[in-house]
Structure 1
């Protein structure tokens, strides 16, 4: 187990509170990719039985934040470059570009105002080196487009990969040379969306997703 310690849980805590505690530790970087999670040690630290901990670990494994094999250790999931490029990016592109095509015709001034507020939150978070709030604001920006599509099946897919995206955003922003510039990467997308030209906006969103992900991996950017 890494030196990070879990807080003691009250007797009323069950798998969801425990899962929230573990998830937060992973997303805030207190538990790193590859760190081992040992049920017995966690049980002692939290002051609960191993049953709800085992259930919580199962939930987080389904979310993609943990990885385990039968009769083997459970570890915090790692993202390989191959997985990001060949799995995560294509799924995001499929979900977000389809959502944008459906959502953009219904966008009004208040919708753009929300996205602008997300950018402002990203700018302030970057300047204060607050990676947690930077990631949450970035996620809020992208999730808003998905939700605005009002397609329940699409939102279900997004929900199933949400924490994988969230974890990758944390890893991505930690590697970004200057996080004060993250908000600027979203500006061309909003400006293009304001034109109302759907295919141009989809093209810009595609470039944005590729650029932000590939840059964090040290790979050449998609944008020319």
Structure 2
């Protein structure tokens, strides 16, 4: 039980840590589909009150990792490898197309914002507090890249795909941030050079590389459990 307990330093970012811990436990296969995630039990394991557990479960429900049912509480519904493949393959196709269509319409102000977002991301050193900030910067970087796309429907489809696990993968794949930095740098260079086709290609590779690393994480965790 002590292996799950949070330190005083951890409590500075309590909500993020609790959510991250529960997300990792689910994705590592420590629960079966249909298992209950009991608030009191996990509050005791993590050494916190029920409130951050309750808030974490609400977030995990949005991500599709749990389903909250009346009288039963949080039921584990972990994302499968097949789910990951579907989500990231669709993201690669749609986001690649969106950034290609977007690039001719990006203004200088948006390019400056992309530069600022990239610089802020590479300044982060990869600890847990920084990963939380990185997730926000990364999501905004992707959003700005596709903002100029004139296709209205594609935005809704992409946003629907982002409502699950994608925004939170940096918390699981923090050891792959250098790869992400390199890909973001290349994207930024193609934006400056006004090369929409090349931008689409690197965006597709970026998303599919993340897919492969996430599947590897899930498979490795499952084998170790």
Interval containing the TM-score (normalised by the shorter chain): 0.5 to 0.7
Match of 1:143 in 2: 143
Q: CA deviation at 1:107?
A: 1.4
TM-score in terms of structure 1 length: 0.65
Matches within 5 A, 1:33-72: 33-34=25-26, 36-38=36-38, 45-46=50-51, 60-67=60-67
Match of 2:21 among 23, 29, 34: 29
User: Structure 1's 71 and 216: CA in aligned 2 closer, same or farther, altered over 3 A?
Assistant: same
Match of 1:74 in 2: 74
| 1:31-79 deviations in Å (ceiling 9; x for gaps) | 534265326767x8339xxxxx69x967853542424689866356544
Q: How many residues align?
A: 192
| 1:64-102 deviations in Å (ceiling 9; x for gaps) | 242468986635654444432x21211211331222132
**Stretch deviating more after TM superposition (149-158 or 164-173):** 149-158
Distance 1:65 1:133 in 2: 22
Match of 2:173 in 1: 172
Match of 2:182 in 1: 184
| 1:173-222 deviations in Å (ceiling 9; x for gaps) | 2x43xx35532221111212222232222112112222333245459xxx
Distance 1:59 1:156 in 2: 20
Q: CA deviation at 1:160?
A: 2.4
Match of 2:46 in 1: none
Structure 2 unaligned blocks of 5 or more: 7-13, 44-48, 218-225
Is the 1:192–1:204 Cα contact (8 Å) retained in structure 2? no
| 1:98-151 deviations in Å (ceiling 9; x for gaps) | 221321111122222111111111111136662111222111111222333255
Match of 2:205 in 1: 207
Q: CA deviation at 1:165?
A: 0.8
User: Structure 1's 148 and 66: CA in aligned 2 closer, same or farther, altered over 3 A?
Assistant: farther
Structure 1 unaligned blocks of 5 or more: 6-20, 48-52, 220-224
User: Structure 1's 216 and 29: CA in aligned 2 closer, same or farther, altered over 3 A?
Assistant: same
User: Structure 1's 72 and 87: CA in aligned 2 closer, same or farther, altered over 3 A?
Assistant: farther
TM-score in terms of structure 2 length: 0.65
Distance 1:45 1:87 in 2: 34
Partner SS, residue 148 of structure 1 = coil
